[in-house]
Amino acid sequence: MSEQKRIPLVIMRGGTSKGIYIKENDLPTDPKERDELILRLFGSPDVRQIDGLAGADPLTSKLAIIGPPSRPDADVDYTFAQVSITDRVVDYKGNCGNISSGVGPFAIDESLVKAVEPVTRVRIHNTNTGKMLYAEVQVKDGKARVKGDCAIAGVPGASAPILLDFASTAGAATGNVLPTGNPVDTLETSRGPIEVSIVDVANPCVFVRAKDVGMKGTETPDVIDGDKELLAYLEEIRSKCCARIGMAKDPADATKHSPAFPMVAFVTEAADYVDFTSGKTIHKEDVDFVSRLMFMQVLHKTYAGTATACTGAAAKIKGTIVNQVIPHIEKIDTIRIGHPAGVIPVVAAVEGNEVKKSALVRTARRLMEGYALVPGED
């Protein structure tokens, strides 16, 4: 009998993230056994994840579980998991928009969805939130296309575009687009009161002004991640908001059991800044505002897909902090978010507090298919 067991899976790049994509029936049905297997696959907990498939970065420690639909209006069920690098935690509390972009191509290539040329619309039920999202995937010869001319900031080269619409995910975690009922709330912190906007589309996000946390908003990842006091303060804000909207019992519980969601971002008006990946200047005329998004207590080096959808909706909701930093927002349909590695556009439309559209273009590519080996039980 072999000392290791084989687990069929696929590794894909989805947007600016990378993750393991696995069929639901290839994982144990018992939740505890499932999570133990997932931790072994990823090599967690270990800061290097040296004994697993993940890449020692929150953006590459992600999992997509794909199964048959549990509701009649869906083609597949999709469960996202953020696998902690340092703790024995598999977090199912939210979704990842970048990883979501790989679900449609995976479902098509695995024959879980009938391929229709030239574009297949895949109806995805995200079980984390109970919400639907829709992917439009280009298809050729029965498989998801890879080659194309769509380039996204943070990924070298170009690929076939995938359109993702998150409009149906409004209130995904809390049941309300504005979980507190307000576009702006005042939060008491160790540095005094600070204004925050909490918005729930695709995933809940907390927005603050860059100047209110002592930043310009255009800083590079090394500056932000090197500022331990800033990281601690942003986590204080995030964890207190997490508890306020009912996603955790208290801030300590939020940090321990909901480290990924809600996300927190600090924003500022359009400004020139340097793309840390290329050294090129991104000019203020090419963005509508600038944002720095935190994820798992460090800076997201690009911008999360779900946060993009949430930020786009927030920009269109009158009175939010994002709305306030974009002049003439009522005249803008495609909102250009300046992030550390470039610009990501999002098309958003909101009537009152009802999200009519929040769509973005991503790309995805299958990198590896085969079997992972994990030690069997003694």
Q: What is the average pLDDT score of the chain?
A: 95
pLDDT of 289 over the 80 cut:
yes
Mean pLDDT along residues 60-72: 98
Query: Residues 290-307: what's their mean pLDDT?
Result: 94
Contact 253, 260 (CB under 8 A): no
pLDDT of 352 higher than 90: no
Does 376 or 182 have the greater pLDDT score? 182
**What residue segments make up the domains of the chain, in order of their start?**
4-161+363-375, 185-358
Task: Write out the CATH class of domain 185-358.
Answer: alpha beta
For residue 18, what pLDDT band results from cuts at 50, 70 and 90? Answer: very high
Return phi, psi of residue 249, to 5°: -70, -40
What local confidence, expressed as pLDDT, does residue 154 receive? 87
Query: What is the average pLDDT across 63-76?
Result: 98
pLDDT confidence of residue 172: 87
Q: Does the structure show a pLDDT above 80 at 377?
A: no
Q: Assess whether pLDDT exceeds 80 at residue 281.
A: yes
Decide if 155 contacts 184 (C-beta within 8 A): no
Q: How confident is the model at residue 31, as a pLDDT?
A: 97
Would you say residue 265 has pLDDT above 70? yes
The string of pLDDT tens digits covering residues 214-263 is 999 999 999 999 999 999 999 999 999 999 999 999 999 999 999 989 99
Give me the pLDDT at residue 376, please: 81
Please provide the DSSP assignment of 136-172 as one string: EEEEETTEE----SB--TTSSS-B--EEEE-GGGBTT
259 upstream amide cis, omega within 30 of 0: no
pTM above 0.85, yes or no: no
Which pLDDT belongs to residue 378? 59
- What is the mean pLDDT of the segment spanning 171-195? 96
pLDDT (0 to 100) of residue 1: 58
**4-161+363-375 and 185-358, same CATH topology:** yes
The share of the chain scoring above pLDDT 90, in percent, equals: 95
Report how far residue 172's alpha carbon sits from residue 168's, in angstroms, rounded to the nearest whole number.
8
Closest CA to 133 of 107, 95, 91: 95
User: Is a pLDDT exceeding 80 seen at residue 290?
Assistant: yes
273 close to 308: Cβ distance less than 8 angstroms: no
Contacting residues for 357 by C-beta, under 8 A, at least 6 apart: 165, 167, 347, 348, 349
Give residue 2's pLDDT: 83
Token reading at 311 = 């930020």
Which CATH code for domain 4-161+363-375?
Answer: 3.10.310.10
